[in-house]
Structure 1
C-alpha cells in the first residue's frame, strides 16, 4: 500500500531497484502511501499536489468487517488481528502494523524506514474472516529492497500463512497474481466484498517514472483461505 505521505520520503539520488518491483495497486506505494477506494499510488516523495481520491474504503470498496456479500460459503475464521506474515517461497517473515485511512481518504503505508514490515487495513476484514483482507508492503525504499521485493514470483498454488493474535494460523493459497496500470486499476475486483475468506497482497510494479517519482503499475496477489 498513495499519492503522498505526511512526511514524504524523498529519493536521494538512488536508482530504484528494478529487480525489486512486484506491482500492485489500491494503487499501492513503493515508498509512499496508498489510496484506498479508486486507487493507490507509489509515493517516492510525490509532491503534495499529486492527484488523490477522497472516496472512503467502506463505501466504495466493500472493506468493512460487516460484509454485505452474504453468508460465507467456505472455510473462515472469526476476527483476529494478524501478527506475522510468512511466505516461504520468497523468504518473507514479517510483522504486521495497522494501516488507517486519513481524513482525505488515503490509506497510510507502513513505515518507510522499515524494510521488513507489512500493513493491513485494520478497519476492513482481518485475514481469515469472510471478505477481502487488504495487506500491503513496500517493494523497495530509497536505500534497499523491501519486504515485497519478490512478490511477483508467487504463482497459483503457492501458499502463505498469517499468524493471528488468537493463536490460530490462517493459510492461504494463491489464486492469481496480476499487474495493473495505476490509471486503470480494477477497484471493484480488488476491494469488493467476497463471501469467502480472501486476501489481497499489494505492492508496486512496472517501470519507475522519475518525473512522477512513482512506479507505473501495481501488483496484486489474490488468495483464499484453505
Structure 2
C-alpha cells in the first residue's frame, strides 16, 4: 500500500491502462456507443425491373422490437459494508476508456451498456478505490463474501436487489478476457474498483477487483 500522499487518484490509472487495451478500475475497453451498422443501397443504385411473369411478393409491415425503457441507477449500497455510493451515468474518454467520476462519493454507470434491471447483459458500475489523502469504503470490495445483498436505487424511486455471486481480483493485463462489458447472457451487475499491489514502477494497481452480483428473483 503506498504511503501519503496515498495512492494516486484512479482516473489517471484508469486512462493509462486503457491505452494498452484495458481499463484500470473499469475493466476491458468498453464497446463503442455507436448503433449497429445497417446495410443501405449505394447512392444512385436502382432496383432491377421485375419480370412480367414474376409473382407479386407479399408485403408485411415490419414491427421493430421496442427498446427496454429502464430508469437510470442513482445509488448503490452493499449490505454490511461502508460501500454506499451515488451513481451517475458516464461514457467514454477520447481513447475509448470508460470515464470515471472524479471524486470519492460517486460510482460511474457505463450508460452505453445495459442498465441495472435490463433483461440481458452486464450492468457495469465503477468507482475509485482511494483519493489523494484517504482510502475509500470501496477498498473493502475484495472482502465482500458471496451471498452479500446489494441494493440499487433508480431514478424513479424503485429499488433493485442483488446477491453477490463472487468477487475476483483480476490482473489488469488479462482483464480483456473477462468480457466485463458483455451485452448478452444472463442479467448481472459488475461493481469494479482497483486493487491488488500498488506498483511504484508503473504508478498503478496490479489488479481490478470485480464483484459480480445477480438479481434477486
SS of residue matched to 1:16: coil
* Structure 1 gap segments, 5+ residues each: 1-10, 18-28, 44-52, 65-76
Q: TM-score, normalised by structure 1?
A: 0.69
Equivalent positions of 1:12-31 (< 5 A) are 14-16=5-7, 30-31=10-11
RMSD of aligned alpha carbons = 3.1
* Residues 42 and 13 (structure 1), Cα distance of their counterparts in 2 relative to 1, 3 Å cut: farther
* Residues 78 and 171 (structure 1), Cα distance of their counterparts in 2 relative to 1, 3 Å cut: farther
* Residues 213 and 206 (structure 1), Cα distance of their counterparts in 2 relative to 1, 3 Å cut: same
Stretches of 4+ moved more than 6 A in 1? none
Displacement after TM superposition at 1:58 (Å) = 3.6
Equivalent positions of 1:108-187 (< 5 A) are 108-111=99-102, 114-129=103-118, 130-187=120-177
* Structure 2 gap segments, 5+ residues each: 36-67
Displacement after TM superposition at 1:37 (Å) = 10
**Counterpart for residue 23 of structure 2:** 40
**Counterpart for residue 93 of structure 2:** 102
Q: TM-score, normalised by structure 2?
A: 0.71
Asked if the contact 1:205/1:217 (under 8 Å) is kept, the reply is yes
* Residues 37 and 83 (structure 1), Cα distance of their counterparts in 2 relative to 1, 3 Å cut: farther
Equivalent positions of 1:53-68 (< 5 A) are 57-58=31-32
Asked if the contact 1:181/1:217 (under 8 Å) is kept, the reply is yes
* Residues 206 and 218 (structure 1), Cα distance of their counterparts in 2 relative to 1, 3 Å cut: same
| Structure with larger RCO (C-alpha < 8 A, sep 6+) | 1
* Residues 163 and 110 (structure 1), Cα distance of their counterparts in 2 relative to 1, 3 Å cut: same
Q: CA separation in 1, counterparts of 2:192 and 2:21?
A: 14
Q: CA separation in 1, counterparts of 2:145 and 2:25?
A: 23
Once the two structures are superposed, residues 93-139 of structure 1 have per-residue CA deviations (whole angstroms, 9 ceiling, x without a partner) of 2211222102221111111xx22211110111111112100000111
Q: CA separation in 2, counterparts of 1:90 and 1:120?
A: 20
Q: CA separation in 2, counterparts of 1:219 and 1:36?
A: 20
* Residues 205 and 57 (structure 1), Cα distance of their counterparts in 2 relative to 1, 3 Å cut: same
Aligned length: 178
**Counterpart for residue 91 of structure 1:** 82
SS of residue matched to 2:84: strand
* Residues 225 and 183 (structure 1), Cα distance of their counterparts in 2 relative to 1, 3 Å cut: same
Asked if the contact 1:115/1:145 (under 8 Å) is kept, the reply is no
